[in-house]
Amino acid sequence: MGFSYVVAVAILLSSSLIFFGMVYNANLQAELQIREAQQREIEHITEEVETALNVTSYEVRQNGSAYQVTMNLTNTGSVTVALGESTLLVNGTVVNFTFSAPYLFPQGRGHITFDAPSVPFTYELVAQDGYSIYGEVE
């Protein structure tokens, strides 16, 4: 009876070690994923804070029943804005637009061109990092 007791204790101890090793490994992986997510969030917030776009001027031309708008932009922030990945809303509706360059570098200037259904209208340009500028054209 002594030998079976020793074997049972050995099996219980080894299975306990394996179990706690698996639990530790799972917790370690979860902690690493949380830290990576927090780091990505910090980087995203930093990009959004350091992004700044200004509308320097705009030109509105009537094009049939719609209006063609050319909006001049200046990047006054320290983050490059990818105009090709940005979204433009006119009166709350997503519209297609063309841009002078796919990227607007810090202190750079560029323009976007789009069609608006009527004047006055509101616009919102949302950059890839979530930064947005909002305005009204009268």
DSSP string, the chain: -HHHHHHHHHHHHHHHHHHHHHHHHHHHHHHHHHHHHHHHHHHHHHHHHH--EEEEEEEEEEETTEEEEEEEEEE-SSS-EEGGG-EEEETTEEE-EEES-SEE-TT-EEEEEEEESSSSEEEEEE-TTS-EEEEEE-
Give me the tens of pLDDT residue by residue for the chain, a chain 138 residues long. 677 888 888 888 999 999 998 999 999 999 999 999 999 999 888 888 888 899 999 999 988 888 999 999 999 988 899 999 999 999 999 999 999 999 999 999 999 999 998 889 999 999 888 888 999 988
- The percent of residues above 70 in pLDDT, for the chain, comes to 99
Give pLDDT, residue 45: 86
Give pLDDT, residue 64: 82
26-59: per-residue pLDDT in tens? 999 999 999 999 999 998 888 888 888 999 999 9
